[in-house]
Chains A and B, each alone.
Chain A
Amino acid sequence: MDQNQPKNYLVESILVTVFCCLPFGIAGIVFASQVNSKFSLGDYEGALQASKDAKKWMNWGLISGVIVIVLYFLFVALTIGSLAFLGGDF
């Protein structure tokens, strides 16, 4: 039992929840909770697996958030640009 507790990604999951992508963040918090509870029961393997799952959800939340924001602003820039190019009124 001298193994270190696996990283639980709780902070990252909270930030993902509050700043962009709620469902991924909630899943991350649930797995973070499993990391802590399984480790405190001495289930190191289970805690490690939960840590990997938490990381996966947190990453998906982060990646999807960044992609959506970048695509969104690209879309807006293209729309405004093409309207300006065509001399449209916007």
Chain B
Amino acid sequence: MKLKNLGLLVLGIGLTFLYFFVNPSNVDFFPKCPLYATTGIYCPGCGSQRATHQLLQLNFIGVLQQNILFFFGLFILGYHIAVQSLNLVLKKNIYNYLYHPKTPIIILVIIIVYWILRNIPYFPFNILAPN
């Protein structure tokens, strides 16, 4: 178990350095999205590698240009960690909306609507596509 964690840590640090120094837009040895490579359709995760590079370079507008859901994912992660740690450390009992029956359905709808919209090749929808 410890070896696995160490491996993941090394892998994480390695990938952080890789995505910090190399812009996936400029080189072509990064893995392509299999859906985009085969069909030409953007998936909801397309642009995440380029967004990771922009985030590590602290270019937040660049992140938004690649993938708006990237911030959405980070926001959900931050909310979850904040609520859980407040409840644990300060012994509070804040309700975590991620456990509300409707939340996963709303999130699923957001992802699917985003998926459809970013594939419409006309303004203003095409700003949702990665570039």
Residues on A lying within 8 angstroms of B by beta carbon are 5, 8, 10-11, 14-15, 17-20, 22, 26, 29-30, 32-33, 36-37, 39-40, 66, 68-70, 72, 76, 80
Residues on B lying within 8 angstroms of A by beta carbon are 11, 15, 29, 31, 35, 43-45, 48, 67, 69-70, 72-73, 76-77, 80, 98-105, 107-108, 111
Enumerate 20 A-B pairs (CB-CB under 8 Å) in ascending A order. Answer: A5-B99, A10-B107, A11-B76, A11-B98, A14-B107, A14-B111, A18-B44, A18-B45, A18-B67, A18-B69, A19-B45, A22-B35, A22-B44, A29-B104, A33-B104, A33-B108, A66-B11, A68-B31, A69-B31, A80-B29
What is the distance, in angstroms, from B65's C-beta to the closest C-beta of chain A?
16
Q: With A11-B80, A30-B108 given, is the CB distance from A18 to B48 under 8 Å?
A: yes
Cβ contact of B73, chosen from A18, A26, A66, cutoff 8 A = A18
Which A residues are CB-close (under 8 A) to B73? 14-15, 17-19
Interface centre among A20, A22, A37 (most CB of B within 10 A): A22
- The distance in angstroms between the C-alpha atoms of A41 and B108, with both chains bound, is 21
User: B100–A36 contact, CB under 8 A?
Assistant: yes
Which A residues are CB-close (under 8 A) to B80? 11
User: A8–B98 contact, CB under 8 A?
Assistant: yes
What is the distance, in angstroms, from A6's C-beta to the closest C-beta of chain B?
10
Apart from the given pairs A10-B76, A18-B72, A68-B31, 15 other A-B contacts in the complex at a CB distance below 8 Å = A10-B98, A11-B77, A14-B73, A14-B76, A17-B73, A18-B45, A18-B70, A18-B73, A22-B43, A22-B45, A26-B108, A29-B108, A33-B105, A36-B103, A70-B11
